[in-house]
Amino acid sequence: MANTEKEHAVLTLKHAGEWSPEGRKDVANWLREQAASLEQEGDTYASRYRARYLS
């Protein structure tokens, strides 16, 4: 049986095991903000949307 599922999203966390508790909290909050934006404004996104957390 062929797999018919398509990949729609990818999340890569670089060196997450080395982050401080505060750093993990900051990224988690940022991800929640991205999720809220996707729900509220996702229909205005381009066909490819990239969000980056830089520190």
Query: pLDDT tens digits for 16-32?
Result: 999 999 999 999 999 99
Query: What is the percent of the chain with per-residue pLDDT over 70, rounded to a whole number?
Result: 98
CB atoms within 10 A of CB 31: 14
Q: What pLDDT is stored for residue 3 in this prediction?
A: 82
At 42, is the pLDDT very low, low, confident or very high (cuts 50, 70, 90)?
Answer: very high
Q: What pLDDT does 1 receive? A: 64
CA dihedral 41, 43, 45, 46 (to 10 degrees): -170
User: What average pLDDT is seen over the chain?
Assistant: 95
Q: How far is CA 4 from CA 1, 7, 9, 39, in A?
A: 9, 10, 15, 25
Task: Indicate the domain borders of the chain.
Answer: 20-54
Q: What is the pTM of this model?
A: 0.84
Question: In a 3-state reduction of DSSP, which class is residue 37?
Answer: helix
